[in-house]
Chain A
Amino acid sequence: MRFTTVILKEEDQMDGGIEKTNKPEMDKKGKRNGFLSGFSGPAFYKADDRVLHPFSVIVQKEIADHVRSWRFLILLAIISLTCLGSMYTALTSIREAIKPNDPEGSFLFLKLFTVSDGILPSFVVFISFLGPLLGISLGFDSVNSEHNKGTLSRILSQPIHRDYILNAKFVAALIVISVMFFALGFLVMGFGLIAIGIPPTAGEFLRIVVFLIISIIYVAFWLNLSILFSVRFRQPATSALSGIAIWLFFSIFYGMIVDLIVKGMVPQGYATEGQIINFEIFRMNLNRLSPSQLFSDATTTLLMPSVRSLGPLSMIQVMGTIPGPLRLTQSLLLVWPQITGLVAGTIICFVLSYVSFMRKEIRSR
């Protein structure tokens, strides 16, 4: 139970930190001593001699808005609970997870992220399910709420480029997500270290870092999708709903639809090996249109070094191989298409929202 108390303490500190950010504003009579001492909101409130770049001013403000919002606190709580829950399952079932002659025996530490007791999902599954929610909720009202508040035309009449707003929103949310994921990932590693007592090897550490980076890219995809909706739809509720609809579609219905399509195409009993392989590849490629499939392919390969192929292997290919873990570079090579796919999806969403934002005529409210 040692680790749970530590987590609680950690959360107390987080809450304390957030309260502190709100306090200096209460300072009366226009003297802003609070802002000059300690942490105290974005740097652009400081009376120093620096001239900040307008882009960084917007990013700072956006980050401050995120961190101070209730929305972010709630998400943080959910994700922290996820970490706690998956840590708990991992630690209770890690003993059974290690089998003799397991090629992954030397990667015990990675099991913290992938092992589950069959009741509660593992950390990776949690992230692949909740990541979209995080991305959608940080982006769904980024542009339309500015418009509805009447602040967009005011900001755009300042001497800044129009795309600063969109870019800054994206960068700010990405920074918030990255900090959060790295903090949580390292916390899980730290508690795991305390609980199981075996330090991770350099390879394991690197794999976890790459895993966190891929998770960030995955969330960034959903973030950009929801920013796109926030540019297209005037009502924040509509854009949130569209984002959630797409998330639910891919996490629930997409698999069913693929099954339905594939069912009619199952090769008959006397099909040749080539036909069966082609069918399998077709089925997997259909599945890979879903970003969550790409994410889970990428992460399982990275966190389970013994995975050496994501597609079907023929007997000839398997014959003579000695079961053993891949090196990090080999694992990365294996999931490179998946990573490229995720990055491409992110960029496509960003470009679409960029184009439609730049063309939009900004009227007041």
Chain B
Amino acid sequence: MNGNIIELVDLTKKYGDFTAVDSLNLAVKKGEVFGLLGPNGAGKSTTILMLLGLTEPTSGSVRVCGIDPVTNPIEVKKRVGYLPEDVGFYFNLTGWENLMFTARLNSLSGKEAVAKVNSLIERVGLRDAAEKKTGQYSRGMIQRLGLAEVLLKSPEVIILDEPTLGIDPTGVVELLQLIVRLSREDGITVLFSSHYLHQVQQVCDRVGIFVDGRLIAEGNLKQLSGKLYEGAPYIIEAGVNFDGIDLKNTRPEEWLQEKLRGIEGFIAVKPGADSYNIECQTDLSAVISKTIVMAGAGLNYLNKKEYGLDEIYNRYFEGGRSNGRRH
């Protein structure tokens, strides 16, 4: 198993002429929180279905916990908890009854089932609602019940398909914190699919970006931005105070450009919202700050600019589009 709990090799799924997943290679390590990021229809859900053996791959191989879900789906389903997108419960039964049903499907004895269901209901904070019919639950409560259900079988891996869809912002934060806490406490590997960048950024150790059935990049934020902006300029954001300086009718950025020109590795200055983006080849922040101060201007702050997931995502997404494989 070489430490990878999920391994996909050249995985392909075709529906007629349409290729939903295109020779996907992916490995997820044990205990990791991995985010599958991509627009709607990128093949995230299809990949998840193949992981669980709910649909068969056209070609390629899948290994989950070292087991092939195509030939042995039951063993995989014993180890993997799956929270489908837009999950539903039997609304004529209470939350407690719904969980009991699942618990008994997982071959727990009556006593174990009751103990486990009660403790999980407590853990996801649904104790007061346990005796209410799930028809009266809010979307956020349903998702939390779904999470409790996923944990019923004491899984090694949990797969969450768009778990935050349709929940209000506070609900999202709570749910994400719950997921991370559960994963850290129990050492569970989490595979998390979403098209909301910020959520993925908040909780995931590593991210895979999915466009049109292909994984076009994977890694943590730093690696992703490194890969993407290889060769691109290094940007330092500077807040400069020009009080008491004679700009001689030039614009401030031109003045800055003039002062910084002599530094080796300096490229250009571009005006930002209320700061200036200084592009350079390497990290020149020490020299730049010194130069600005020596020139008589006030330096409010100097900030190395890091790329957020949105920028990375947009950049990759544009890349995916430009390959002309839109459907």
User: Which residues of A are in contact with B by a Cβ distance under 8 Å?
Assistant: 25-30, 32, 41, 44-52, 54, 57-58, 61, 65, 68, 149-151, 153-161, 361-365
Contact = CB atoms under 8 A, between A and B. Distances in A.
3 closest Cβ pairs, A-B complex: A150-B88, A157-B82, A364-B84
Could you tell me the dominant secondary structure of chain A's interface residues?
loop
Given A153-B84, A364-B84, A364-B161, A57 B101 contact: yes
7 contacts: A25-B94, A27-B131, A48-B110, A51-B109, A65-B90, A156-B54, A161-B74
Contacts of A54: 104-107
Given A156-B54, A159-B77, A44 B110 contact: yes
Given A48-B111, A49-B110, A364-B86, A155 B52 contact: no
B100 interface: yes
Contacts of A361: 49, 54-55
A300 to B, nearest CB: 41
Given A25-B131, A365-B86, A49 B111 contact: yes
Given A25-B131, A157-B54, A44 B104 contact: yes
Contacts of B90: 65, 149, 151
A158 B131 contact: no
Contacts of B87: 150, 153-154, 364
B166 to A, nearest CB: 12
Given A25-B97, A361-B54, A47 B110 contact: yes
B84 A158 contact: no
A60 B114 CA distance: 17
Contacts of A29: 131
B104 A362 contact: no
B255 interface: no
B131 A30 contact: yes
A68 B92 contact: yes
Nearest to A55: B105
Interface of B: 45, 49, 52, 54-55, 74-75, 77-78, 80-82, 84-92, 94, 96-97, 100-102, 104-111, 113-114, 118, 121, 127, 130-131, 146, 149, 153, 161
Chain A CB within 10 Å, residue with most, of B75, B89, B94, B97: B97
Given A47-B111, A51-B107, A159-B74, 11 more contacts: A28-B131, A30-B130, A52-B104, A65-B90, A149-B91, A150-B88, A153-B82, A154-B146, A157-B81, A159-B105, A361-B49
B149 A154 contact: yes
Nearest to B97: A45
A362 B111 contact: no
Nearest to B90: A151
Given A30-B96, A51-B109, A362 B153 contact: no
Nearest to A45: B100
Contacts of B111: 47-49
A157 B94 contact: no
A57 B104 contact: yes
Best-surrounded residue of B77, B94, B146 (most CB of chain A within 10 A): B77
A156 B109 CA distance: 20
A27 B97 CA distance: 13
Given A48-B111, A54-B104, A157 B52 contact: yes
Given A149-B88, A157-B54, A362-B54, A50 B109 contact: yes
Contact of B106 (A50, A65, A154, A159): A159
A160 B96 contact: no
B52 A58 contact: no
- Name, among B89, B91, B101, B106, the residue most crowded by chain A CB atoms within 10 Å (CB to CB): B101
Nearest to B85: A364
A28 B129 CA distance: 10
A58 to B, nearest CB: 7
A54 B97 CA distance: 15
Given A46-B110, A149-B91, A159 B153 contact: yes
Contacts of A49: 109-111
A202 B107 CA distance: 45
B74 A154 contact: no
A125 B94 CA distance: 42
Contact of B127 (A30, A156, A161): A30
Contacts of B110: 44, 46-50
Contacts of A25: 94, 97, 131
